[in-house]
């Protein structure tokens, strides 16, 4: 029987169940999941936010196949001042290096988040190191690609190094759907329509 879970992955945790070193935190530290459940997609160890876990292999193929181009939304705290010119570069698709090759990123949506929108973001543990002499800002980026460390590489390419990265959405799913806990089990008839399946 298919199982579906929404996860709020914390900073410093691997998006997998196998420890690569004794000190690593893994998804199994959050909850006693069934043995055959795995993450659909990944978030880097130093990224936070929304993950789907399931044993439904069809979901993995439907979401991750390159032709699917499902939207993933990130809130990204960057160092520097994001001007309209820099946002325009991101929106039109920048060039990055991935797996030793040049990749021209697909166009994306980008905007600066207001202070009101970000006031309820919980502090990260450990805290992000800020430089008082350098401004920072929160961006919202919605991509339809998922290359390794793509958001970080894109922002760096326009001179906006990433300080913090939180995935807040997958299609119409939102991180807030997880609620106050780190894990929420959901039903197929609730989940699948929200990710366009």
> What residues form DSSP beta bridges with 7?
51, 183
- 1-68+172-197: which CATH architecture? 2-Layer Sandwich (3.30)
Domains of the chain by residue range: 1-68+172-197, 71-170
Residue 25 DSSP symbol: B
CATH of 71-170, one of 3.30.70.1560, 1.10.275.10, 2.40.30.10, 3.40.640.10: 3.30.70.1560
Cα dist from 21 to 125, 148, 153, whole Å: 20, 21, 26
pTM of the entire predicted model: 0.93
- Fold agreement (1-68+172-197, 71-170): yes
Give the pLDDT confidence of 26-54 residue by residue, as tens digits: 999 999 999 899 999 889 999 999 999 99
* Pair of tokens at residue 176: 């807030």
The whole-angstrom separation of Cα 93 and Cα 41 is 22
| Alpha carbon distances (Å) from 53 to 9, 100, 163 | 11, 30, 26
Using the predicted structure, report yes or no on whether residue 97 has a pLDDT greater than 80.
yes
Name the pLDDT band for 166 (thresholds 50, 70, 90).
Answer: very high
As a whole number of angstroms, the distance between CA 63 and CA 96 comes to 23
Task: Tell me which residues are annotated as active site.
Answer: 44
Q: CA separation (Å) from 29 to 9, 105, 123?
A: 11, 34, 21
């Amino acid at each position: 029987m298919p199982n579906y879970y929404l996860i709020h992955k914390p900073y410093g945790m691997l998006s997998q169940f196998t420890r690569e070193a004794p000190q690593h935190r893994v998804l199994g530290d959050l909850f006693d999941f069934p043995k055959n459940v795995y993450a659909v997609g990944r978030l880097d160890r130093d990224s936070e936010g929304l993950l789907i876990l399931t044993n439904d292999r069809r979901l993995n193929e439907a979401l991750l196949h390159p032709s699917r181009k499902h939207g993933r939304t990130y809130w990204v705290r960057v160092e520097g001042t994001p001007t309209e010119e820099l946002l325009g570069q991101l929106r039109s698709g920048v060039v990055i290096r991935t797996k030793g090759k040049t990749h021209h990123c697909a166009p994306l949506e980008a905007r600066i988040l207001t202070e009101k929108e970000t006031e309820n973001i919980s502090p990260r543990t450990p805290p992000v190191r800020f430089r008082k002499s350098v401004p920072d800002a929160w961006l919202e980026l919605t991509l339809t690609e998922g290359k390794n460390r793509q958001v970080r590489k894109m922002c760096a390419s326009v001179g906006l190094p990433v300080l913090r990265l939180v995935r807040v959405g997958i299609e119409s799913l939102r991180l807030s759907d997880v609620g106050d806990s780190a894990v929420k089990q959901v039903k197929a008839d609730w989940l699948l329509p929200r990710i366009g399946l």
